[in-house]
Amino acid sequence: MTGTVVDLFESELDGATADDPQSFGTVPVGTTGSDVQLTYGGSGTLGTIDQTIFTGTDGSEFSIDPVGTTCTTGLVLPDDGICVVNVRFSPSAAGYQQTEMAIPAQQFGTTFYTTLLLYGTGQ
């Protein structure tokens, strides 16, 4: 596992947003940059994790690396539990690209989202 570790710990899921956008730096077009490891969790029961989604026109440039990712669809996080999402950036074109990653979780019949802005530059 290479790349950086970003903690997405939130005390509440209700519209939580990580404070700082995550940069993937400059990556040659047609290649995949180093994974960025995101840890997700917090105090209290977080509910059941749904499929992580990437939104926006550049969402397809970012993906989940299944190796080492433990935040998987259907995972039920216990009180104070954490899970890991390994994200990669694979630009197909030159220039700045960004997406918003959302980790949805079900709790008490309601879906909540924790979001993080991801960006990188294809070269």
- Domain chopping of the chain, boundaries: 5-122
Contacts of 110 (CB under 8 A, 6+ apart): none
- Give pLDDT, residue 53: 86
pLDDT in tens, the chain (123 residues): 444 555 555 434 444 455 678 899 999 999 999 998 888 775 544 556 667 889 888 999 999 999 988 888 888 777 777 788 899 999 999 999 999 988 877 777 777 777 888 999 999
Class of domain 5-122: mainly beta
pTM to 2 decimals? 0.79
In whole angstroms, give the CA distance from residue 60 to residue 121. Answer: 14
Cβ atoms of 86 and 103 closer than 8 Å: no
- Give pLDDT, residue 72: 82
